[in-house]
Amino acid sequence: MHETLITLQGYVGGDVRIRSAGDTEVATFRVACTPRRWSRRDQSWVDAPTQWYAVNCWRALAHHVDRSVRRGDPVVVHGRLSPNAWTNSEGVEVVTYEVEAQFVGHDLNRGTTSFTKRVRQAPAQGDAGAPAAPQPGTPVDLSDTAAA
């Protein structure tokens, strides 16, 4: 359980690609993070080199990311960091970093967004005591969920 968790703040660097891994959806996109530092010597902000990360999202998160995130969007990504070492065609060893996302969202410091709650499937016919799923566009009262 010694995993490296990371939170990235950056911009989506390309289109979200969706694929299947068996019967599971996986969405993949890249995030560009450019750290900025204040230079006392120059009395100005200086950009450090841009760092690129591949982000993989699984199952429902893949579905939602595919429908919500676009190239150029400012995002915040939280997940497990994994380095991958490989040798390129020139024989140089390269290390790339992938994040298996647990959470992805728009960076609201950079703009606004709109949220649509996922509507779950109606309960099976044998589940008489289960609450019915709300219809799309119906306001959802979340006041009693804070105690849960």
What is the domain partition of the chain in residue ranges?
5-79
For the segment 11-55, what is each residue's pLDDT rounded down to a tens digit?
A: 999 999 999 999 999 999 999 999 999 999 999 999 999 999 999
Q: Which CATH code is given to the segment(s) 5-79?
A: 2.40.50.140
What secondary structure, in 3-state letters, does the chain show?
A: CCCCEEEEEEEECCCCEEEEECCEEEEEEEEEECCEEEECCCCEEEECCCEEEEEEEEHHHHHHHHHHCCCCCEEEEEEEEEEEEEECCCCCEEEEEEEEEEEEEECCCCCCCCCCCCCCCCCCCCCCCCCCCCCCCCCCCCCCCCCC
Tokens encoding 47:
């950009």
pTM of the model: 0.74
What is the pLDDT, as a whole number, of residue 143? 46
Tokens encoding 45:
């902000």
Give the distance between the most distant pair of CA atoms in the chain: 71
With a cut of 80, say whether residue 127 has pLDDT above it.
Answer: no
CB 33 within 8 A of CB 50: yes
Residue type, 88: N
What is the pLDDT, as a whole number, of residue 122? 73
pLDDT confidence tier of residue 135, bands split at 50, 70 and 90? low
With a cut of 70, say whether residue 140 has pLDDT above it.
Answer: no
With a cut of 70, say whether residue 134 has pLDDT above it.
Answer: no
